[in-house]
Amino acid sequence: MITYNPKDWFTFIFRFHKADTLRQLAPLIIGICAYCWIIAYLELNVFKLSKSSHITNITSMHSLLSFVISMLLVFRTNTAYDRWWEGRKLWGSLVNNSRNLAIKLHSMLGVEDEVHRSFFKKIIPMYASVLSHHLHAESTRLALDEQEQPELRNLDTNRHIPNQVASLLIQRVNRLFEEGKIKGEQLIILNNELQSFTDICGACERIKNTPIPFSYSVFLKKFIFFYVMTLPFSFVISLGYIAIPVVAFIFYVLASLELVAEEIEDPFGGDENDLPMNKMAQNIKKHVTEILG
């Protein structure tokens, strides 16, 4: 995720990063300019239309459609940002729950119980790590210490790894209860934290696997395209060849809003503005290690 100073306006204006919409839309903007030039040449030099022409009535249609398209784009961007922010809240909950689980285990386990402490010190941060890889839809081989924790060899990388790691956590906590190292009341307290891991995973999968409806996305793109394609017919008569940069700028603004919405609607991807899940997983590992010693 890009870090920046929101008060530095001058830098924003002249900064072009990798995901900047102007870079992505450059070929289309050039095509729009060429299209506008052709329309302008035909209207001004071939057909020689004047301001009294009936084609200028298209302006009233653009005024009505501009309100509709603005409402659609506002809804589109707000919906996309809600998905991004929900993903951030879920990962914030994962960070907090990992810390809480480590703190509770630290108070319940004895200082001399190095075996169980070492297990939880490894497995709690591992859940965040495997969830990050799982949401990135990447197949990964975890570097597991088979000598220290032989039960981790049973992880099947072809199956749902976060569920397997959560199962290992619950099995170890249940083992602590059977060995009498934690009481029944403590088991109930730990169960809330353990259950939250799977709940967070399921909520993240819901965002990941449920994109904006296809028909809505296609309709909005077609609407923007045909709206911009009709702008030169009325703008050229009143603005002349100046309509070329005006129409290109209008297309840039409308298409950029759609591109921004497409980028942030999946907060678990690999774009620059997506959530820094790997960094948050590293912070969880750092904090859990500090707590469990």
Beta-carbon neighbour count of residue 38 at 10 Å? 11
Q: Which whole number is the average pLDDT over 52-70?
A: 77
Mean pLDDT of the chain, nearest integer: 85
| Contact partners, residue 139, CB within 8 Å, separation at least 6 | 157
Using alpha carbons, select from 246, 204, 177 the residue that is nearest to residue 37: 246
Give the range among 7-16, 97-106, 192-201, 279-288 with minimum mean pLDDT: 7-16
pLDDT for residue 79 is more than 80: yes
Q: What pLDDT score does 73 carry?
A: 92
DSSP string, 108-176: HS-TT-HHHHHHHHHHHHHHHHHHHHHHTT--------TTT-GGGGG--TTS-HHHHHHHHHHHHHHHH
- In this structure, the dihedral spanned by the alpha carbons of residues 48, 54, 56 and 57, taken in order and rounded to 10 degrees, is -170
pLDDT digits (tens, 9 = 90+) for 190-223: 988 899 999 999 999 999 888 888 898 899 999 9
Percent share of the chain, pLDDT over 70 = 84
pLDDT for residue 230 is more than 60: yes
Q: Which whole number is the average pLDDT over 158-168?
A: 87
Burial of residue 275 (CB within 10 Å: 0-12, 13-18, 19+) is buried
DSSP code of 42?
I
Most confident of 12-21, 208-217, 241-250: 241-250
Give the range among 74-88, 155-169, 236-250, 251-265 with minimum mean pLDDT: 155-169
Give the range among 149-163, 174-188, 273-287 with minimum mean pLDDT: 149-163
Q: What pLDDT score does 12 carry?
A: 66
Give the range among 67-71, 137-141, 149-153, 239-243 with minimum mean pLDDT: 137-141
pLDDT digits (tens, 9 = 90+) for 141-161: 343 344 455 555 666 667 788
* pTM, entire model: 0.83
- In this structure, the dihedral spanned by the alpha carbons of residues 153, 158, 163 and 166, taken in order and rounded to 10 degrees, is 20
Q: Which residue has the higher pLDDT, 62 or 154?
A: 62
pLDDT digits (tens, 9 = 90+) for 100-138: 999 999 999 887 788 899 999 999 999 999 999 888 864
Give the range among 46-50, 231-235, 266-270, 289-293 with minimum mean pLDDT: 46-50
Domain residue ranges of the chain, discontinuous segments joined by +: 86-210+277-292
pLDDT for residue 53 is more than 80: no
Q: Phi-psi category of 180—alpha, beta or left, where left has phi over 0 and alpha has psi -120 to 50?
A: left
pLDDT band at 174 (very low <50, low <70, confident <90, very high): very high
* Tokens representing residue 221 in the block: 């793109």
Q: What pLDDT score does 209 carry?
A: 86
